[in-house]
Amino acid sequence: MAAGVHTVAVIGTGKIGELMLSGLLRAGWPAGKLMATARRQARAEELSQRYGIRVVDNLTAVAEAEVLAIAVKPQDAATLLDDIGAKVPADKLVISLCAGLPTSFFGRRLPEGTPVVRVMTNTPALVDEAMTAISAGPHATVSHLALAEEMFKPLGATIRVPESQQDAVTALSGSGPAYFYLLVEAMIDAGILLGLPRQVAHDLIVQTAIGSAVMLRDSGEHPVTLREAVTSPAGTTISAIRELENHGVRAALLAALEAARDRARELADQNK
Ligand SMILES: NC(=O)C1=CN([C@@H]2O[C@H](COP(=O)(O)OP(=O)(O)OC[C@H]3O[C@@H](n4cnc5c(N)ncnc54)[C@H](O)[C@@H]3O)[C@@H](O)[C@H]2O)C=CC1
Ligand SMILES: O=C(O)[C@@H]1CCC=N1
């Protein structure tokens, strides 16, 4: 696929589809080179007013766009492809954002030779801090991967992974923001338990999360070293860590991420 700004259609504009549209526009992708599809008329009008892009039906998107980004739920992908699959010209690039579904799912429903790239991004795309993992399916060339990267780089960091790792990626970074939000929510509750006003507890822990995240990214230190620097002998932190270990937080995370990975596999099995 030649370099240059391609016409991209986002098919399915819920949370992730909209994040992708807004991110591409922030990155300077011309509104005239973007289109979206939506099932409800009210949603179509909202998107076209908010972003100044064309909102079209799925078949128009298939006919006119060079890149089709599929951002429907995995459970809705088969119905969508029943409608559009046979009509997708084989020179279009199909980018799937769907959790769990392998590129072979799309390959079976698209004309032979259609390039498919599988992508797993996450909601911090909203603030250009996404983590996006990109894998080539059959027929996707180096230039298709490069184009997918060009689209997701402005939204945060990107990494290329073999498709066999995508279910694990989904468990870690795809779902990952939810785990951090849950921890923050629980720590705010802990602040309430200790007698702090809710807003104070919120502000303390949100800034602590941001500071810790920036150190994780920018200090070059391993998380263990960063944690040890906080943990004074016979101090407060080690008392808390003993409780976390007693309550099996580490084991809970191992089990939780394994469950997320297994659920991604199940989605593939249930949507063949
Ligand atoms: N929410 C997240 O944090 C992440 C989600 N994903 C994946 O992104 C995809 C979308 O997820 P969300 O945005 O959270 O779901 P969502 O439910 O917010 O959005 C899906 C959208 O697709 C639309 N849709 C369904 N069938 C359609 C059709 N035939 N034609 C046009 N539009 C159709 C729905 O109306 C809805 O607006 C899923 O496959 C999910 O696995 C991937 C990474 C992170
Ligand atoms: O919960 C889900 O299935 C989607 C995929 C990764 C994050 N959200």
CA nearest ligand 2 atom 1, residue: 175
- Choosing from 72, 166, 175, 179 the residue with most ligand 2 atoms within 8 A of its CB, the one to mutate for a pocket test is 175
pLDDT, tens digit (0-9, with 9 covering 90-100), for 214-224: 999 999 999 99
Supply 238's token pair. 């080690």
Closest-CA residue, ligand 2 atom 8, reads 175
Domains present along the chain, CATH in parentheses: 8-166 (3.40.50.720), 176-268 (1.10.3730.10)
Whether the predicted pLDDT of 21 surpasses 90: yes
Give the ligand with the smallest distance to the CA of 120. 1
| Buried b / exposed e along 238-272 (16+ C-beta atoms within 10 A) | eeeeeeeeeeeeeeeeeeebeebbeebeebbeebe
Quote the ipTM score.
0.99
pLDDT value at residue 4: 61
Distance 6 CA to ligand 1 centre (A): 22
Per-chain mean pLDDT for the chain: 96
Give the pLDDT score at 3: 46
pLDDT at position 27 is: 92
Q: How far is Cα 19 from Cα 155, in angstroms, rounded to an integer?
A: 9
For the CA of 174, the closest atom of ligand 2 is: 6
Mean pLDDT of 40-67: 96
Q: Pocket of ligand 2, candidates 15, 170, 179, 270: which has the most ligand atoms within 8 Å of its Cβ, to mutate? A: 170
Residues of the chain above pLDDT 70, percent: 99
Mean pLDDT over 100-118 rounds to: 97
Query: What pLDDT, on the 0 to 100 scale, is given for residue 272?
Result: 86
Q: Give yes or no for residue 135 having a pLDDT over 90.
A: yes
- pLDDT over threshold 90, residue 204: yes
Which ligand has the minimum distance to the alpha carbon of residue 58?
1
Contact status, residue 264 vs residue 169, Cβ threshold 8 Å: no
Position 181 confidence tier, pLDDT thresholds 50, 70, 90? very high
- Considering only CA atoms, which residue is closest to atom 19 of ligand 1? 14
CA distance linking residue 266 with residue 260, whole number of Å: 10
Is residue 47 within 6 Å of ligand 2 at its C-beta? no
Tens digit of pLDDT for each residue in 211-259?
Answer: 999 999 999 999 999 999 999 999 999 999 999 999 999 999 999 999 9
**Distance between CA 21 and CA 46 in Å, rounded?**
13
Per-residue model confidence (pLDDT) at position 5: 84
pLDDT over 80 (residue 1): no
